[in-house]
Amino acid sequence: MSVPKAADLPPGVPTPPRLNTSPPEVPNAKVSFPIPHVLLVTLNRPDSLNAIPRPQHFALGRLWDWFDDEPALRVAVITGTGRAFCAGADLKEWDGLNSAGTSGPQKSVSGAPSQTSTTPDGSTSESEQRAGARDMPASRFPRGGFGGMSNRGGQKPILAAVNGLCLGGGMEMAINCDMVLASEDAVFGLPEVTIGVIALAGALPRLVRSVGRQRAAEMALGGKKYGAEEMRRWGLVNEVVPAGDAEGAAADGLGRTRVLAKALEWAARIAGNSPDAVVVSREGLKLGWEGVGPEVGTNMLIHGWYGRMEKGENMREGVKSFVERRKPVWVDSKL
Q: Residue 123 has what DSSP assignment?
A: S
- Residue 179: the pLDDT is 98
Spatial distance between the Cα atoms of 173 and 176, rounded to a whole number of angstroms: 5
Query: Phi, psi (5° rounding) for residue 268?
Result: -65, -40
Q: Which residue has the higher pLDDT, 174 or 292?
A: 174
pLDDT at 46: 94
Nearest Cα neighbor of 106 from 198, 205, 38, 182 is: 198
Question: What residue ranges define each of the domains in the chain, with the CATH number in brackets?
Answer: 6-271 (3.90.226.10), 275-323 (no CATH)
**Is residue 99 scored above 90 in pLDDT?**
no
Average predicted confidence (pLDDT) for the chain: 82
Span of 39-53, 176-190, 249-263 with lowest mean pLDDT: 249-263
Q: With a cut of 70, say whether residue 192 has pLDDT above it.
A: yes
Is the pLDDT score of 327 beyond 80? Answer: yes
The per-residue pLDDT for range 48-88, each reduced to its tens digit, is 999 999 889 999 999 999 999 999 999 999 999 999 999 98
Do the beta carbons of residue 186 and residue 166 sit within 8 Å?
Answer: yes
**What pLDDT does 325 receive?**
87
Return the minimum-mean-pLDDT range out of 150-154, 206-210, 289-293: 289-293
What's the N-to-C CA distance of the chain in angstroms? 26
- What pLDDT sits at residue 267? 97
Region 169-176: what's the mean pLDDT? 95
Closest CA to 216 of 197, 229, 235, 201: 235
User: What is residue 255's predicted lDDT score, i.e. its pLDDT?
Assistant: 63
130 has a pLDDT exceeding 60: no
Could you tell me where the beta strands, DSSP code E, fall in the chain? 29-32, 38-43, 75-80, 84-86, 158-162, 165-167, 179-183, 187-189, 225-227, 239-241
CA 166 – CA 127 distance, rounded (Å): 28
> Greatest CA separation found in the chain?
68
Say if residue 126 is exposed, middle or buried (CB neighbours under 10 Å; 0-12, 13-18, 19+): middle
Lowest mean pLDDT among 137-151, 188-202, 263-277, 295-309: 295-309
Name the residue with higher pLDDT: 327 or 136.
327
pLDDT of residue 3: 53
Kindly write down the DSSP assignment for every residue of 40-76, as one continuous string.
EEEE--GGGTT-B-HHHHHHHHHHHHHHHH-TT--EE
| pLDDT, greater one: 110 or 17 | 17
* Predicted confidence (pLDDT) at residue 43 exceeds the cutoff of 90: yes
User: What confidence score (pLDDT) does residue 106 get?
Assistant: 43
pLDDT at 111: 42
pLDDT of residue 213: 94
Give the least confident one: 69-78, 86-95, 272-281: 86-95
Q: What is the mean pLDDT of residues 119-129?
A: 36
Most confident of 126-135, 227-236, 326-335: 227-236
Instruction: Identify the pLDDT of residue 118.
Output: 35
**H or E segment and range at residue 218:** helix 213-222
Per-residue pLDDT for 175 more than 90?
yes
Residue 29 is predicted with a pLDDT of: 96
What number is the average pLDDT over the span 198-223? 91
DSSP string, 239-277: EEE-SSBPTTHHHHTS--BHHHHHHHHHHHHHHTS-HHH
For residue 303, count CB atoms less than 10 angstroms from its CB and return exposed for 0-12, middle for 13-18, buried for 19 or more: exposed
Residue 2 is predicted with a pLDDT of 52
How much of the chain, in percent, has pLDDT values that exceed 90? 53
pLDDT at 119 over 50: no
Least confident of 19-33, 41-55, 79-93, 169-183: 79-93
